[in-house]
Every structure is written in C-alpha cells, then in structure tokens.
Structure 1
Amino acid sequence: MKLDTVLVLSRHDGSVLSDSSREILTAARSIADRVVSATFGTPPVEELARYGADEILVVDPGTVPADPNHPAVWAALAVAAAEQVNPRAVLMASSYLGKEIAAQAAVQFDSGVVVDADAVSVTEGQLAITKAVFSGTWATHDEIIRGIAVVALRPTAVEAEATDRTEATVRPLEISVPERAKRTRLVSRTKREQDGPSLTESQVVVVGGRGVDGDFGPARELAELLGGAVGATRVACDEGWIDRSAQIGQTGETIAPKLYIGLGVSGAVHHASGMLASEHIVAICDDSEAPIFEIADFGIVGDVTTVLPQAMAALKAGL
C-alpha cells in the first residue's frame, strides 16, 4: 500500500533536471500513488513526467521578491504547494541547500524532519526512513510521527529510473516570501569550474590521500577512464594538493557512489564518515594496519605508484 500523495521539490536549469531531482522523483514514485513536483521557472515537463511527476506546480521567478536560491524561498514553495495538494510527505535532495530547506519547511509544518536519508519505503501505510548515523557505523529505521513528513535524501542514494510517460498536468503556483528572505540580496554568483562529474552525484569516485604524495594526475586519469569524479581526504586538501571542494568526510562532502576507490587513503574516521555508504569500496594503501581495510570490499597492500599503473594497464586492456 502506497501513500496517496508525495510532494517533491525539483531543481532544473531550464532544460534539464538535476541528477538528484531524477533520483528523488524515482523514490517518490516508488512510495506514492500521486507524485507532485514543485519548482521555479520553466521546467522540463516531459522529463519531470518521465521520472514520475503526475502534476507540476510552477512559480514564476519574476513574482518572487527575493533570491530564488534562498532556503526560505524554497521553504515557502514547499508550504504553498503542500496547501494545494495535501501531501503525506515532502522529499528533496540532501544538499547543503536542501538541508536548510528541509529544516525551515518542517518548522512551518510543525512536523518531523530527517536529512541525509538513505532510503524511503512504506510499511503498513506509514512512511519508513532509513538513515546511517554515528559516522556510518549504525543504520537507523525511522518514522516521522507528527505532521507532514519532511525528508531529504542523499544524492546517489536512489538510482534514477525513467518511465515511458511524457505528460503531466502543469499548474501555476503563487508563494508568500518571508521578510527575512527579502532582506538578503544576491550580489554576484561565480560558477565553480568543475572538472568531470559532480563529486556528490557520481557513481564512481576515485579518492587520493596522503599516499599520492601530492600527485593527483593518476587519480584523475583513473577517474576519467571509469567516468567518475575525483575526491580527496582532508590531509590532501590541507596540503594544497587539490581544491577544498574535493574533500570528503565530516568537514567535507558525504558521498555514496556505487564504487569508491581509495588511493593512499588510511581511512581515518573523519574521512570514513563521508564515504561509508559507498556500495563497493576498493582500497590501495601501503599500511596493512590502515583502518580502511576494515571496511573495504577489496584491498591491496602496496605503494600506489606501483600498484596503480598495473591496475590502469589491466583496465585499459579490458575496455
């Protein structure tokens, strides 16, 4: 038995949905008979429909007297859309922005909230939420017992799956923006140059640690070969070997790819907490006592500069 209606906050660039929005819609489709997407601007209707949206509520950004990326504006979108469709749950991506939106929306709904969720399902008519806690060492099974459930799902936690549908009902929506959002003015926005796939949304992540000794060239080459992203430990970022945006762990990004490859990564707890949800973990490290071998599915004790060229040659021969 599914929930009757679930609301999804979707993001797009005017022509293409974000990867995380495809995933959230797929998750919503699995737990609800009716999926409603709420968004701003001119949405890609056919793509929203393919990934599960039955209805699309659209706010004209020109009517919003505030920065459309302000979390209070998105929370206002969630509230206005919920008043229209009366959902059992509101889902969104658990990005930095998504967590802010989730918290503010839950306050206005006077309901419970779970962020960084790994999965959602329905048990006996109730929304069930799975989440890893304590640096990924425990898996919790949660239920929101009051109000409209607000859940932010981690990017890559759900594999996006399209359907054959291409049509959805589109309706305009008006929102009421709080004064605090109006007091914030966007001065400028600089797009960060991204070399390769998004770190948090990639299904393959190659991570360099202290063992790469400042040379991220082989890590980038392997990531490119596998169609993945490049990440790093805190030490590698502290040393200035790679931009801080690549950091994974407690003070960096949290990832959950299908394949994690650690190059010279010891697996200290502050890093492991950001990658324990990876489906398959491969580790190459010259320290046989390194903590990463306790969580790795496949480990090689050896020097990265010796092992990696052999692995690359084997991969290239097999591709």
Structure 2
Amino acid sequence: MTTVLVFLDHAGASLAKSERELLSLGASLGEVTVALAGDADQAYLDGVGSYGVQQVYRPDSAAVSEVLVAGKAAFLAEAVRTTGAGIVLLGNSYEAKEIAARLGVRLGAGVITDVVALAADLTATKSDFAGSYTVDCRVTTDVAILTVKPNSFDAIEAGGPSSPHEVRLPVDLPAAVARVTGRVDKPVSGRPELAEARVIVAGGRGVNGDFTPLEALADALGGAVGASRAATDAGWIEHSAQIGQTGKTVSPQLYISVGISGAIQQKAGMQTSKVIVAINKDADSPVFEIADFGIVGDLFTVLPQATEEIRKRGL
C-alpha cells in the first residue's frame, strides 16, 4: 500500500477544516502518516489519530519553527526518506507551496500546486496561467508532491480519539536561513479563515471604502470577507483579505463578488469556486462572464435586502 505523508503546519488547538480534508484525501490514497512541524497538545494529536494515523513525525529541534520555509522543507524531506512515502500532501498557502517547491528540489520529485481534483491514477486538475486554463497533469517521478486547495475535497467523519505514536527526526538546518524575529497575533474577527471558508463575500473598488454591508451579509451566511487588490491597496481592508493572482486563491462553495470588475488577476484567485454570484452596476463587467448568477444593481441596495431575507429565513 502506498504511504501518504500529510504535512501539517500546526497553528491551532484543534484540527482545522483544511487539515481534516487533507487527512481524508490521504486516507483515500493509501496509508496516512503525518509530518507535524510544530508542537501540539494532546487533544490535537488525538484528533490526528482519529483519522487512522498511527505515526506522527516531528522535528527533534524547536529551531525548525523559528526559521522560515527552509527548515520545514528540510524536516519534510527527512520525513519522506524515513517513511518511504510515495505521495506528499500539503495545504495551498504561499508558504506551503514554497515548502513543496524546496522539497521537490531536495528529492528530485515532481510538484503540482493548486490541486482541486485528483483521479485514482494521481492525475490532478488545477487552474493555470492566471486561471485562463483548467489543466490535467500528473507527476511521473517516484514521489508526487501535491498542494491542495481547501474546500476541494470532503472531510470524512473522524473516528474516536486515538493517540498516534510520535517519532522525532533529526533535522540538518541550512547554515543560511531566514529566521522569525517576532510574531503579532491577528485580531480575532469571529469569521472563518478566508482560505477555508465555505462562503466568501468579496468587495472591490465599487464598495467605495464601505465594507459594512458585505460584513453583514457574510455574518448572516457564516462566511468570510475578502477583497480585490484595488480595495486593499486603497486601505479599505487589510491586505490579508486580498484574493487574486497576487493574493490568496480560494475555492469556496459560494463566492459573492460585490463591486469587482472581474479582471483576469481577480479571476485567478476565485474561479474554482463552486457557485459564483456577481453584483455590479455595470452590466458589461467581465465578472458576469464567469458568474453562475448575476445581479445588475447598486450593492448598497441589493446587499441589505439579501441580508434581511437570509436572516428572516434563518438560513
């Protein structure tokens, strides 16, 4: 049976939805082991074990978490060699994709990023060239390294809590590495993480600096708030909310585009969404070309009505 190594860059007290999706996908491909970059409490480890994971590999030095991607790539390479894994699964953040690239160089292995579907023969489906094409591709090396977009695969129901066996691996860190000198906690909004959200309400230049109606709709739907580069560059919302070619790529079940023209740079970050709803005053806006549903109207009239109706129906 193929050994599947799932890389988890632990940052929370319990498994995130995207982590559960990776573990579920791994279980469908073979026998899952986990490479865990940071420290974790017992509840988190029990959650990992509930997906049938019997072995968790961790670095023997805390220094791995104090450096940027080079240290994590070195640790993950050692974990692949130790386990003999034929498939490596990672998340799809910018950091995860850089780790995957460095790992591919270390192992001489093929890398596919932005995976949204995967066939039994490991043929992966992804968007390419800023979302202009949807392509199928497959790694032909002995080890396949895949970064997977959140919300692309179902997270199966976990079993009962189970504590996996921990194995510490020595890591030979590169001499020259970039190190973390400080961290600042991001303010808690109560909304889901943008990359993991099943519903995203995103605003662009058309919101004219006022995200209030978008936040109200997102809260009514239990979703996250995103933005185009024009909105973040204008200082209307933090840059961590940016979606697009130079921002985050997302793949929610529902993406509501508000006051965004839909230029190719924006499409690259969201067009794999399952359902796209576009709201724009300009009937000729490019976003309507990829939208499943379109509303031509003033967002400050449309959104409050939609929010009121959703709350009334208890959706």
TM-score under structure 2 normalisation?
Answer: 0.92
Distance change (3 Å), C-alpha of 1:81 and 1:312: same
- Amino acid of the residue matched to residue 286 of structure 2? P
Could you say if the C-alpha distance between residues 55 and 227 of structure 1 is closer, same or farther in structure 2, counting changes exceeding 3 Å? same
Structure 1 residue 68: deviation in Å?
4.2
Q: Write the deviation string for residues 187-212 of structure 1: whole angstroms up to 9, x where unpaired.
A: 21112224222111111100112222
In structure 2, relative to structure 1, the CA distance for the partners of 1:208 and 1:135 (3 Å cut) is: same
**Correspondence for 1:211 among 206, 213, 218:** 206
**How far did residue 14 of structure 1 move?**
6.3
Structure 1 unaligned residues grouped into runs of 5+: none
Q: Which residue of 2 aligns with 1:133?
A: 128
1:35 aligns to 2:32 (yes or no): yes
Aligned to 2:151: 156
Deviation at 1:102, TM superposition (A): 0.3
Residues 55 and 167, structure 2, Cα contact 8 Å, conserved in 1: no
Deviation at 1:238, TM superposition (A): 2.3
Asked if the contact 1:283/1:292 (under 8 Å) is kept, the reply is yes
Name 1:224's counterpart in structure 2.
Answer: 219
Q: Tell me the residue number matched to 2:232.
A: 237
Q: Is the 8 A contact 1:65 1:177 kept in 2?
A: no
Aligned-residue offset at 1:136: 2.2
Deviations 1:261-289 (A, max 9, x none): 11112211111111101110011111111
Tell me the residue number matched to 1:82: 80
* TM superposition outliers: structure 1 runs of 4+ over 6 Å: none
- Alignment partner, residue 265 of structure 2: 270
- For 2:50 and 2:275, the matched residues in 1 are separated by 29
Q: Is the 8 A contact 2:35 2:57 kept in 1?
A: yes
**Offset from partner CA, 1:49-95 (integer Å, 9 cap, x none):** 223424222334xx244544521221122222122211111111111
Structure 2 CA distance for aligned equivalents of residues 280 and 59 of structure 1: 41
Mapped to 2, the partners of 1:205 and 1:175 lie a distance apart of 41
Are 1:291 and 2:289 matched, yes or no? no
Percent of aligned positions that are identical: 38
Q: Is the 8 A contact 1:57 1:173 kept in 2?
A: yes
- 1:24 and 2:19 equivalent? no
Helix, strand or coil at the partner of 2:123: strand
Which residue in 1 is equivalent to 2:3? 5
- The aligned amino acid for 1:106 is G
Q: TM-score, normalised by structure 1?
A: 0.91
Change (3 A) 1:164 1:217: same
Deviation at 1:215, TM superposition (A): 0.9
TM-align CA RMSD: 1.9
Distance in 1, matches of 2:175 and 2:217, equals: 46
Aligned length: 310
Matched, 1:187 2:184: no
